[in-house]
Amino acid sequence: MWKKVLLGLLPVITVICSIQIHYVNSHSINVPIFYYKMNEEVRFDDNYNDTSLESSDGYSITVLGHEQLNIDSFIKKYNIIEEMGLNHYDYISIIHVKIKNCNNTNGSRSGIDMRNLILQNGSYINFFSQVLYSYINTYPETKFSLSENNEMEFWIPFVLTNKDIDPEDFNSGDSFLVISLYPHKCMIKL
């Protein structure tokens, strides 16, 4: 008797679950993605990464260049004497950017947090290396604000290791610097 009831309820439960899955998938929020080119000035405005309380309104970022170096070339190029902790890195992807305060008057209550920038290549994502950042930039702070109509250039390093991604696969795909995730995902092609 119980087997007949269970066999009768099974198709009903399957249909209900299918309807629920379809409803959730069809009503999910799709974040629009905006693509930009290198050397194109991209404004942050109302876009953010983690919370809308991040205030980068009035700031812009321009990618000026991109290079990928093996760790030995990186150490030689930036005259790094102290190699402590760097020997387990294989490659460093360095993005040269210009950040500008176009019209933000909030002072130190707003600004840019470099820790929010993401390197993406297909499904592979990577966050910037705070350790290497201090080696190659004269201004070592990762969160800062600029006075209005002021701009600064930075080099943003991302660590690539052979165990995470094959460098040839990485170089064969399109790489992007992701500057925001919500309400629009803004990506600059490298």
12 phi, psi to nearest 5 deg? -65, -45
The pLDDT, as a whole number, for residue 38 is 96
Model pLDDT for residues 59-69, shown as the tens digit of each residue:
999 999 999 99
Task: Name the average pLDDT for the chain.
Answer: 85
8 Å CB contact between 103 and 161: no
134 phi, psi to nearest 5 deg? -70, -25
**Taking the complete model, does pTM exceed 0.85, yes or no?**
no
Model pLDDT for residues 79-135, shown as the tens digit of each residue:
887 666 777 888 899 999 999 998 877 776 778 888 889 999 988 888 888 888 988
8 Å CB contact between 41 and 60: yes
Angle at CA of residue 173, ends 170 and 178, nearest 5°: 85
**pLDDT for residue 55 is more than 80:** no
Higher pLDDT, 57 or 109: 57
- Cβ neighbours of residue 167 under 8 Å, at least 6 residues apart? 68, 90, 91, 160
8 Å CB contact between 126 and 74: no
In this prediction, residues 68-77 reach a mean pLDDT of: 89
